[in-house]
């Protein structure tokens, strides 16, 4: 599967939008009570618009979301199933979310994985992942420490037959050194193969540092499939 994508974060509109609203004192919106369905709807619509007005303040938004995580989860809990489903579909248009039974749980898992934005090296996962400069996977391939700023890198993963094959996965690609989220979206893959890949070329180019990549099943719990980390020592302009 070929994918070329600039900087994008597919976090929930109401999660990301909430902290944008909170970052501007003159436009702070109260967290609605669970029984106020109309208030939730209006709240989500307004913060969605605010989120779209500031699409590139990733680090600031991530930190604010982390600080306001409890409040954001409260908003998610307050929303109806129809509201959560509606805004998930708007956040991830064109993807099949029918396998996600509990959309509230899924939304809160998205928030959690988005704010953490780094791999746990002690976590043991069923699959295997690696990052290379080639679309074709080559066993034991080593990523060069020198990367061109605009170079396309390929994150390969293999379920090793231990995870059910699916035509969609969720992927997180982040810069551990800066904490910046580079990619956070579902992706289509070849469902009849155990090995697949997703490629990335950041809009602002690669920077020296350590990067984390993690694949998840597209289900309620965002169960991890595989993860890897890699280091770029030097970037060539």
Task: Looking at the structure, tell me whether residues 104 and 177 fall in a common domain.
Answer: no
pLDDT of residue 55: 46
Q: Final residue of a domain: which of 81, 116, 151? A: 116
Compute the distance between CA of residue 29 and CA of residue 45 in angstroms, rounded to an integer: 12
Q: Domain containing 37: what range?
A: 11-116
Q: Is 77 a domain residue? A: yes
Task: Looking at the structure, tell me whether residues 39 and 96 fall in a common domain.
Answer: yes
Compute the distance between CA of residue 42 and CA of residue 79 in angstroms, rounded to an integer: 11
pLDDT of residue 138: 78
Residue 82: in which H helix or E strand, if any? helix 81-91
pLDDT of residue 231: 94
| Ordered alpha helix ranges (H), the chain | 13-22, 37-53, 58-67, 69-78, 81-91, 103-116
Q: Is 4 a domain residue? A: no
Q: Is 201 a domain residue? A: yes
Tell me how many domains the chain contains.
2
The tens-digit pLDDT sequence of the chain (237 residues) is 333 232 233 344 444 444 434 444 443 444 444 444 555 555 445 444 544 554 455 677 777 778 888 888 888 888 888 888 888 888 888 899 998 999 999 999 998 998 888 899 899 899 999 999 999 887 777 788 889 999 999 999 999 888 887 889 999 999 999 988 888 899 988 877 888 999 999 888 999 999 999 999 999 999 999 999 999 999 998
CATH (domain of 206) = 2.60.40.1930
Q: Final residue of a domain: which of 65, 84, 116? A: 116
Task: Looking at the structure, tell me whether residues 50 and 112 fall in a common domain.
Answer: yes
Task: Looking at the structure, tell me whether residues 99 and 66 fall in a common domain.
Answer: yes
Q: Is 101 a domain residue? A: yes
Q: Is 29 a domain residue? A: yes
Task: Looking at the structure, tell me whether residues 152 and 104 fall in a common domain.
Answer: no
Task: Looking at the structure, tell me whether residues 138 and 229 fall in a common domain.
Answer: yes
Q: Is 15 helix (H, G, I), strand (E, B) or coil?
A: helix
Q: Final residue of a domain: which of 70, 90, 116? A: 116
Terminal Cα-to-Cα distance of the chain (whole angstroms): 27
Q: Which two structure tokens, joined as six digits, stand for 194? A: 């155990």
Task: Looking at the structure, tell me whether residues 136 and 64 fall in a common domain.
Answer: no
Task: Looking at the structure, tell me whether residues 75 and 167 fall in a common domain.
Answer: no
Whether 7 contacts 203, CB under 8 Å: yes
- C-alpha pair distances (Å), 24 with each of 17, 18, 34, 86: 11, 11, 24, 26
Kindly report the pTM of this predicted structure.
0.77
Task: Looking at the structure, tell me whether residues 42 and 75 fall in a common domain.
Answer: yes
Q: Is 79 a domain residue? A: yes
Task: Looking at the structure, tell me whether residues 84 and 168 fall in a common domain.
Answer: no
Task: Looking at the structure, tell me whether residues 169 and 107 fall in a common domain.
Answer: no
């Amino acid at each position: 599967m070929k994918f070329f994508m600039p900087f994008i974060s597919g976090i929930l509109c109401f999660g990301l939008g909430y902290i944008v609203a909170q970052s501007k004192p003159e436009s702070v919106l109260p967290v609605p009570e669970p029984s106020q369905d109309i208030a939730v709807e209006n709240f989500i619509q307004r913060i969605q618009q605010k989120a779209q007005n500031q699409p590139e303040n990733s680090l600031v938004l991530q930190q604010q979301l982390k600080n306001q995580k409890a409040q954001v989860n409260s908003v998610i809990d307050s929303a109806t199933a129809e509201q959560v489903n509606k805004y998930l579909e708007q956040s991830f248009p064109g993807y099949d979310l029918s396998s996600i039974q509990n959309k509230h749980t899924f939304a809160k898992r998205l928030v959690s994985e988005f704010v953490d934005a780094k791999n746990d090296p002690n976590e043991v996962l069923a699959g295997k992942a690696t990052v290379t400069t080639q679309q074709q996977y080559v066993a034991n391939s080593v990523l060069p420490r020198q990367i061109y700023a605009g170079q396309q890198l390929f994150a390969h993963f293999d379920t090793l037959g231990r995870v059910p094959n699916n035509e969609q996965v969720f992927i997180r690609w982040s810069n551990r050194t800066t904490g910046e989220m580079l990619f956070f979206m579902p992706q289509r893959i070849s469902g009849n193969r155990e090995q697949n890949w997703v490629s990335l070329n950041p809009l602002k180019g690669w920077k020296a540092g350590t990067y984390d990549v993690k694949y998840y099943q597209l289900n309620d719990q965002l169960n991890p499939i595989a993860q890897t980390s890699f280091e770029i020592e030097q970037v060539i302009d």
